[in-house]
Amino acid sequence: MKNFDYVLAKDAAEAAKAAQGKNTLLKGAGTDLLDRMKEGVSRPDIVVNLLTCTDLRAPIREEGGRIIMGAATTLTEIAESPLLQKVAPGLAEAAGEAATPQLRNRGTLAGNICQRPRCWYFRNDTYACSKKGGETCYSIEGENKFHAIFENVSCNIVHPSNLAPILQALGATLHVVSAKDDKVTSSDIALKDFWVRPEEDISRENILGPGQVIREVSFATPAAGTGSAYVETREKASFDWALTSCAAVLRIEGGIIVDAHVVMSSVAPTPLSVDAVVAMLKGKAPSESLFKSAGAKATDGATPMRDNGYKVTLVAVAVKRALVSAAARAVGGAK
Ligand SMILES: Cc1cc2nc3c(=O)[nH]c(=O)nc-3n(C[C@H](O)[C@H](O)[C@H](O)COP(=O)(O)OP(=O)(O)OC[C@H]3O[C@@H](n4cnc5c(N)ncnc54)[C@H](O)[C@@H]3O)c2cc1C
């Protein structure tokens, strides 16, 4: 691993100031970053540690009609939060399904959202793939079993975070601290607007630039009659990323779906909100057959490659199961 300077920041403002330099990277728990550094894929001159920032460790709370979480909240804290289990069980579920107990005990909310893709060509420093400035995406001709089946145009990575799709379905906002020279400002970014598609800039996955730190993440407290769920399919019971996943948030009033948010992940470079599925759900009574049709609808436009056609079937499965679970929670009293 290349030598680097190490900064212990005391809060988000100090971290943002320290992170303005060109080759400076932020570190939460480092479970993704350190892997990349050991693999030679990321070679920062300076690493800014965020775990020493007290404001990123603000507790999970409900305030002014919103659920607020510090960016360094661990996945275990999210999975085990009684508040989240009550108001957004799909979020607690997504955190509890990720990775392994050790990783969940350390990995942070913002680190999970910003973790970089697991494409084996990107992660292997011997492949100069297009994402790393090379001329080709090796997954087109190579091993593409785990790659994208939607929006796989110039780079076939899949978005890896469990938390991103359910937070997007819940309408989450990122609260970001930015530094420019000595000036520090705060801004809000809707999670749905956070992502960068490969066709926009193949070298990155989100809009954060140097000197920007996520301090908190929040979403409006779900209204009564709302149910949320996160469902994924994967090869192994643990220690594995999803093959396909779906986050669903449904609000049901008088036996009718009055609001719906459905976000698929692990199948495209960014989490995908599926408006066509939402359109077919709204105004209808929830039923197994409706949700099965919604699962089938979600596969429209899929462009699988040689080895990942199986994902098309698994998309339909994940979407249907997430909708069934969200609807049961909506009518069952849990929000
Ligand atoms: C074997 C294995 C299986 C896994 N399975 C899953 C899985 O099923 N689902 C899943 O979701 N994840 C999975 N993971 C990934 C794991 O959950 C992430 O590595 C972890 O959540 C990242 O959190 P971190 O705090 O360690 O991030 P770090 O490694 O510290 O950071 C990751 C990235 O986020 C950026 N970052 C961190 N904090 C901030 C901030 N506050 N503001 C701006 N940028 C920030 C960093 O600069 C870095 O680029 C798995 C990992 C392993 C090793």
Q: Read off the pLDDT of residues 26-84 as tens digits, 9 standing for 90 and up.
A: 999 999 999 999 999 999 999 999 999 999 999 999 999 999 999 999 999 999 999 99
Whether residue 325 is contained in a domain is answered as yes
Among the candidates 166, 195, 220, a domain finishes at 220
Query: Which of 182, 205, 220 is at the close of a domain?
Result: 220
Give yes or no for residue 335 having a pLDDT over 60: no
For the CA of 161, the nearest atom of ligand 1: 11
Q: What is the DSSP string of 234-292?
A: -SSSSS---SEEEEEEEEEETTEEEEEEEEEESSSSS-EE-HHHHHHHTTS---HHHHH
27 lines ligand 1 (CB under 6 A): yes
What mean pLDDT comes out for the span 223-237?
Answer: 96
Q: Is 99 in the pocket of ligand 1 (CB under 6 A)?
A: yes
**How many A from CA of 325 to the centre of ligand 1?**
27
Kindly state the average pLDDT of the residues 288-308. Answer: 98
Instruction: Tell whether 240 is covered by a domain.
Output: yes
Alpha carbons 227 and 247: distance in angstroms, whole number: 11
Measured CA to CA, the distance from residue 121 to residue 133 in angstroms comes to 12
Residue type for position 236: K
185-213 per-residue burial string, b: 16 or more CB within 10 A, e: under 16: eeeebebbebbbebeeebeebbebebbbb
CA distance 138 to 136: 6
Q: Interior CA angle at 263 toward 258 and 266, to 5°?
A: 160
The response to whether residue 214 sits with its C-beta less than 6 Å from ligand 1 reads yes
| Confidence grade of residue 22 (pLDDT, cut at 50, 70, 90) | confident
Q: Is 30 in the pocket of ligand 1 (CB under 6 A)?
A: yes
Same domain for 66 and 162, yes or no, is: yes
Is any ligand 1 atom within 6 A of the Cβ of residue 213? Answer: yes
* pLDDT value at 334 more than 80: no
Write the secondary structure of 171-185 as one string of H (helix), E (strand) and C (coil). CCEEEEEEEECCEEE
199: nearest Cα among 155, 135, 157, 138: 155
- When the pLDDT of each residue in the chain is averaged and rounded to a whole number, the result is 97
Mutate to test the pocket of ligand 1, among 32, 55, 120, 189 (most ligand atoms within 8 A of CB): 32
Residue 162 lies in a domain: yes
Question: Which of residues 169, 204, 220 is at a domain's end?
Answer: 220
Q: Mean of the pLDDT values across residues 197-206?
A: 97
Q: How far apart are CA 90 and CA 329, in angstroms?
A: 10
What is the pLDDT, as a whole number, of residue 238?
A: 83
> Does 239 share its domain with 293?
yes
Q: How confident is the model at residue 109 (pLDDT cuts 50, 70, 90)?
A: very high
Q: To which residue do tokens 């100031």 refer?
A: 17
For residue 201, being part of any structural domain is answered with: yes
> Could you report the per-residue pLDDT of 119-140, keeping only the tens digit for each?
999 999 999 999 999 999 999 9
For range 207-225, the mean pLDDT? 98
Question: How large is the average pLDDT for residues 96-113?
Answer: 97
User: Does the predicted model carry a pTM greater than 0.95?
Assistant: yes
Alpha helices in 89-173 (DSSP H): 89-97, 101-106, 109-114, 120-123, 163-169
Residues 89 and 213 in one domain: yes
Ligand 1 centroid to residue 262 C-alpha, Å: 23
- Tell how far the Cα of 307 is from the centroid of ligand 1, in angstroms: 27
Say if ligand 1 is within 6 A of residue 176 CB.
Answer: no
Q: How confident is the model at residue 333 (pLDDT cuts 50, 70, 90)?
A: low
**Residue of minimum CA distance from atom 50 in ligand 1:** 99
Judgement on whether residues 90 and 208 belong to the same structural domain of the protein: yes
* 73 assigned to some structural domain: yes
CATH number for 216: 3.30.465.10
Q: Which residues of 230-250 are buried (b: 16+ CB within 10 A; e: fewer)?
A: bbbbbeeeeeebbbbbbbbbb
44 in Cβ contact with 4 (< 8 Å): yes
Tell me how far apart the alpha carbons of residues 102 and 122 are, in angstroms, rounded to a whole number. Answer: 25
Query: 198 with 247, same domain?
Result: no
Structural domain count of the chain: 2
- Closest ligand 1 atom, residue 42 Cα: 49
DSSP 205: S
Q: Tell me, yes or no, whether 236 and 273 share the same domain.
A: yes
Residue 110 lies inside a defined structural domain of this protein: yes
Query: For the purposes of burial, counting CB atoms within 10 Å of the CB of 141, is it exposed (0-12), middle (13-18) or buried (19 or more)?
Result: exposed
103 CA → ligand 1 middle, Å:
9
Q: What is the CATH number of the domain that holds 321?
A: 3.30.390.50
Residues 232 and 284 in one domain: yes
pLDDT above 50: residue 116: yes
Residues 251 and 305 in one domain: yes
Domain match, 285 and 173 both: no
Q: How far is the CA of 109 from the centre of ligand 1 (A)?
A: 8
Q: Is the CB of 26 under 6 A from ligand 1?
A: yes
Give the residue, by CA position, lying nearest to ligand 1 atom 1: 239
Helix, strand, or coil (residue 217):
strand
Ligand 1 centre to CA of 312 (Å) is 26
CA dist 229 and 249 (Å) reads: 7
Same domain, 189 and 259: no
Q: Among 26, 37, 46, 187, which is best to mutate for testing ligand 1, by the most ligand atoms less than 8 A from CB?
A: 26
Domain interval for residue 88: 55-114+158-220
Q: Is 205 contained in some domain? A: yes
Distance from C-alpha of 167 to C-alpha of 277, rounded to nearest angstrom: 18
Q: Are residues 214 and 249 in the same domain?
A: no
**254 lies in the same domain as 170:** no
| Position 239 confidence tier, pLDDT thresholds 50, 70, 90 | confident
Q: Is the CB of 107 under 6 A from ligand 1?
A: yes
Measure the CA dihedral 242/120/236/150, to 10°.
30
Residue 252 inside a domain? The answer is yes
